Amino acid sequence: MLYVRWAAFQELATTESSNPYASNL
């Protein structure tokens, strides 16, 4: 279930606007 983990990670990433992973998507 990588998608679920990735979705959860994206939720945490969106909280940090300085996160490169968040801006990548």
pLDDT of residue 19: 57
pLDDT of residue 10: 77
Residue 11, pLDDT score: 76
Long-range contact pairs involving 6-13 (C-beta distance under 8 Å, separation at least 24): none
Global pTM reads 0.32
Predicted pLDDT of residue 6: 83
Rounded CA gap, 4 and 10, in Å?
Answer: 10
- The per-residue pLDDT for range 1-25, each reduced to its tens digit, is 677 888 887 777 666 555 566 555 5
Domain boundaries, the chain: 1-25
